Amino acid sequence: MQGPEAFLARLGIELPCPVSPGEPAALRPELRTTVNGHFFWVSSTERLETFRREPARFTGPLLDPATHAWFTPTMDSPRLDREGEILLFEEPASRDAFLTAPTAADRHGHAERVPGGVGWESRGEAGALAGR
Half-sphere exposure of 10 (CA within 13 A, CB side): 6
Q: What are phi and psi of 121, to 5 degrees?
A: -115, 125
Q: What is the pLDDT of residues 16-25, one digit of tens each?
A: 999 999 999 9
Tell me the pTM. 0.76
What tens-digit pLDDT sequence spans the chain (132 residues)? 578 999 999 999 999 999 999 999 999 999 999 999 999 999 999 999 999 999 999 999 999 999 999 999 999 999 999 989 999 999 999 999 999 886 644 444 444 433 333 333 333 333 333 343
For the chain, the domains span 4-121
3-state secondary structure of 72: coil
